[in-house]
Amino acid sequence: MHTEPTQMAAWQHENASALHISAAPITAPQGNEILIKNAAIGINPLDWLLQSGMSLPWLTFPMITGSDVAGTVAAVGPDVTRFAIGDRVIGQAVSTTVNKSAEGAFQEYTIVADHMAAPIPATLSFAEAAVLPLGLGTAAGGLYGETQLALLPPSLSPKAQDDVVLVWGGSSSVGCNAIQLAVASGYTVFATASASNAGMLQKLGAAQVFDYTVETCSERLISALEGRRLAGTLHATGNLHDCAEVVSRAEGRKMIAATLPAPEDFRKDVVVGHIHGTALKDDNVGPMIYRDFLPAALVQGRYQAAPKPRVAGHGLHALQDALALQKTGVSGEKIVVSLV
């Protein structure tokens, strides 16, 4: 009699305020899927929002959530040619989009599509690598998605562009990735962040960083943009109204790609597109990032795993405390749980 292999997982039950650790099946990869044995898991706001009243009506509970994994390939589907068992990888898990627990991060083994995964160099630890996937995917969707900013793709040898990309909330996970991607596309990047994180963003490639805690931040930004054109703006976090005021008064494109939707009564002189962090699984952006750009960029040191990880604990039982820590607010770092 065949017995289905099992693992341990952290399940999110409907309206539950805490994850529940119990067994889950280990799903065999099909088609272009890979099975990752997770060594580190990144934490994102969505993970605790589902415990705080947020509703995704298409989800069936209990569900295994989580978006960021780093680990080793445990099995590959029959159509996979990019990966082999034992490869060190990151993967963007999409269970909360596709309503399949096998594709959630909060377990020992996760199914990921091969165009949503990338190999990582031996110089990058699993905890460091786990900060990347959802922040990277969200930034890429905002910058390159056809219904978003649709900017020039990233390159290992970008051609310098005259225009500026503004990243609002640069020290967030999405912001750190947006800065690096926009620089890799050849754009000059202006970003907002607190003064304590300015140095980090400059190391990631931001040409100028503006302190959002200073009352004159918007005016300083507008002055700096005089004689320059905006290619587009990515709003990762922070005051959307202030961001839109800058965009409305600057030359160039009056569009913001934002991680959250604008209020219904928001100003009409600026277009705000809502980024869906997993949209790249269904368009050319996924392969553009995870297959064509990121692997070589990491090896060559042209892309950094940023922000730095803050390991909040070890094992699946540490996930709930990690969610609580993320909920308190973090800047310039990302909460990670190690499984090794």
Per-residue model confidence (pLDDT) at position 331: 87
Per-residue model confidence (pLDDT) at position 265: 95
Residues 6 or more apart whose Cβ sits within 8 Å of residue 284: none
Structural domain harbouring 41: 6-132+306-338
Residues 143 and 217 in one domain: yes
Residues 116 and 164 in one domain: no
Q: Model-level pTM?
A: 0.97
Look up the CATH number of the domain holding residue 254.
3.40.50.720
Count of structural domains within the chain: 2
Asked if residue 301 belongs to a domain, the reply is no
Q: Which single residue is written with the structure tokens 């039982």?
A: 317
Residues 254 and 163 in one domain: yes
**CB neighbours (10 Å) of residue 313?**
16
Q: Which of 115, 155, 119 is nearest to 286 (CA)?
A: 115
Residues 119 and 230 in one domain: no
Packed helices 240-249 and 217-224: angle between N→C axes, nearest 10 degrees = 30
CB 94 within 8 Å of CB 272 = no
Residues 141 and 262 in one domain: yes
CB 309 within 8 Å of CB 127 = yes
Look up the CATH number of the domain holding residue 75.
3.90.180.10
Per-residue model confidence (pLDDT) at position 260: 95
Per-residue model confidence (pLDDT) at position 2: 67
Residues 107 and 184 in one domain: no
CA angle 254, 255, 259 (to 5 degrees): 150
- Residues 185/186/192/195 CA torsion (nearest 10 deg): 120
Asked if residue 283 belongs to a domain, the reply is no
pLDDT per residue, tens digit, the chain (340 aa), is 567 899 999 999 998 999 999 999 999 999 999 999 999 999 999 999 999 888 899 999 999 999 999 999 999 999 999 999 999 999 999 999 999 999 999 999 999 999 999 999 999 999 999 999 999 999 999 999 999 999 999 999 999 999 999 999 999 999 999 999 999 999 999 999 999 999 999 999 999 999 999 999 999 999 999 999 999 999 999 999 999 999 999 999 999 999 999 999 999 999 999 999 999 999 999 999 999 999 999 999 999 999 999 999 999 999 999 999 999 998 899 999 999 9
Residues 123 and 153 in one domain: no
* β-bridge mates for residue 257, sequence order: 234, 273
Asked if residue 280 belongs to a domain, the reply is no
The whole-angstrom separation of Cα 241 and Cα 69 is 34
Asked if residue 37 belongs to a domain, the reply is yes
Last residue of a domain, one of 274, 298, 325: 274
Give, in order, the Cα–Cα distances in Å from 211 to each of 112, 191, 192, 195, 243.
38, 9, 6, 6, 13
Asked if residue 211 belongs to a domain, the reply is yes
Asked if residue 58 belongs to a domain, the reply is yes
